[in-house]
Chains A and B, each alone.
Chain A
Amino acid sequence: MKAEAFLAAVERKLFGMDGTVRRDIIDELRTHIRDESSDSAEDVESVIESMGSPSELARKYKEIYGYGFAFKFLFAFSGLLLAISTLPILPFIGGELILPLWGSVGFLIALVLYLIWVSVVAGRRVGGAVGLVACITRLAGILLIPLLAKGVPPYADVLDLAAFVLVSVSLIAVGYIPGKSKEKWEARVLEG
């Protein structure tokens, strides 16, 4: 693989990271390839070989820097939209036809799967933060919507409300735990 093709492959694998950091990494690797191939008798091919595979190299950098701000925002915003959709009082605003009551359960399952996915790809911190956003959105929604919109019954039943709060708070753990487990598992694999 020629130098530029290798660097392009690494850059593709760094997708999602902050653009400035990404370019900085690629520039540094490019300097290294030139330095080493002009200093020693080694040809470009073997210099590139000693850097490992593009995906392995990119994984190490991603572990250090994680996703850039734009992606973190996107993760959180999608979590917020999903969390709003899980509110069981929405049918009272939009009508049962647009969003039937059981739809909120479907969205809740989707939100849980989404949080697990975010936690695995972006790590426990981002996963936990998106879980927190979802939790706050749900709690704020259930308290504020009956106050703001007319005709929406507030959550009167204490047990119902307690279950709702419990589910909302556990979303933080759902976002945090998969990433944490992945970290531990990878550490064990590395140790052999």
Chain B
Amino acid sequence: MCPEMTPVSREWVSELKKGSVQLCLLALLRDERKYGFQIVKELRELSEGFFDLKEGTLYPALRRLEKKGYLLSEWVERERGIPRKYYELTEDGRKALDAAEEVWNRMKESCDSVLRGRRR
């Protein structure tokens, strides 16, 4: 991130991030089910700290996606330690992810073209 950020652009950045974080959460669950802390860690690591989501935001966000029918959750017992709540993608979630990813790619290309100021 830019070191010198005015308050306006910080707001703007959080606005830009807000739209993409749902996409990232669904993408992290594409291949296997995961539990909350695992998602927090992977999101932080894979985005190299860009998506440093507060836990107080992440857990409700997962619930919201579950309520929408994109995720399914299940408590899984472990041999050692307390059980964990795992989230997995539903069929609807997978469709939403594919569609959103397509939009994301087009948006990225279109934005890049505009930023460069010429037609592709």
Contacts and interface: CB of A to CB of B under 8 A. Distances in A.
B54 A32 contact: no
SS class of chain A's interface: helix, strand, loop or mixed? helix
A28 B66 CA distance: 14
A50 to B, nearest CB: 5
Residues of B in contact with A, size category:
20 to 34
Given A27-B85, A28-B85, A34-B82, A51 B56 contact: yes
A60 interface: yes
Interface in A30-88: 30-32, 34-36, 39, 47, 50-52, 56-57, 60-61, 63-65
Contacts of A151: none
A64 B59 contact: no
Contacts of B84: 31, 35
Interface string A17-35: 0000000110111111011
A60 B54 contact: no
B60 interface: yes
B7 to A, nearest CB: 9
B77 to A, nearest CB: 12
Interface of A: 24-25, 27-32, 34-36, 39, 47, 50-52, 56-57, 60-61, 63-65, 191-192
Given A32-B55, A191-B15, 4 more contacts: A35-B84, A39-B37, A47-B55, A60-B57
8 contacts: A24-B85, A30-B82, A31-B36, A31-B37, A34-B82, A36-B37, A39-B41, A64-B60
